[in-house]
Amino acid sequence: MTKQATATPQSSAVLGWREWLELPELGIKQIKAKIDTGARSSSLHAYDIQCETVDGQKWVNFKVHPHQHNDGDPVNCRAPVKDYRQVTDSGGHRSMRYVIETTISLGGELLTAEITLADRSDMLFRMLLGRTAMNGRYLVNPASSYCLGKPTATMTTSST
């Protein structure tokens, strides 16, 4: 007996291999993300990560440079800690990372996703959108880019 492929709803939006998105709860208006079906979890470049406990709730404070090739204009972020877990990167290296849950705006659709905080300063993209966040919502066309829209005219970044 052969397995049948699971059908995907015909209304699924198509993503390119890279897309612009917003993290409104973190104050990040636009960030270029690599759409990575090989990565289970989503990851955000964060630095100066500091954890604190307020009224029994753990919070993480961190900074983000949302624009590629530009370390100016950092965004100060704060979010409740959902978890602190071991994550294995694409090179097989394991590290402990804070995990937050936040809203992502992608092509006008809002979704909630877990995001790990990591030093991605040596990576081309400041954010990876992993398959768990996309599951059942999107199809990915690796031959396309920015299928859901481009940045606004006020945004100044270099293209990749």
For residue 29, give the CATH number of its domain.
2.40.70.10
Composition of the chain by helix, strand, coil, percent to 5: 5, 50, 45
In a domain, 71, yes or no: yes
Q: How far apart are CA 136 and CA 27, in angstroms?
A: 27
Contact 63, 83 (CB under 8 A): no
Q: How many domains does the chain have?
A: 1
Domain membership of residue 154 (yes or no) is: no
Give the Cα separation of 57 and 64 in Å (integer): 22
For residue 32, is it within any domain? yes
Of 127, 155, 139, 137, give the one whose Cα is nearest residue 39.
127
Residue 147 resides in a domain: no
For residue 106, being part of any structural domain is answered with: yes
Report how far residue 74's alpha carbon sits from residue 66's, in angstroms, rounded to the nearest whole number. Answer: 7
Residue-level pLDDT, tens digit, the chain, 160 residues: 555 445 444 568 899 999 999 999 999 999 999 999 989 999 999 999 999 999 999 999 999 988 887 778 899 999 999 999 998 877 788 989 999 999 999 988 899 999 999 988 778 899 999 999 999 899 999 999 999 985 453 333 333 4
0.85 exceeded by pTM: no
pLDDT value of position 68: 80
Instruction: Determine the structural domain holding residue 50 and report its residue range.
Output: 25-140
Asked, for residue 115, whether it belongs to a domain, the answer is: yes
The answer to whether position 121 is within a domain reads yes
- pLDDT score at 154: 37
Q: Is residue 40 part of a domain?
A: yes
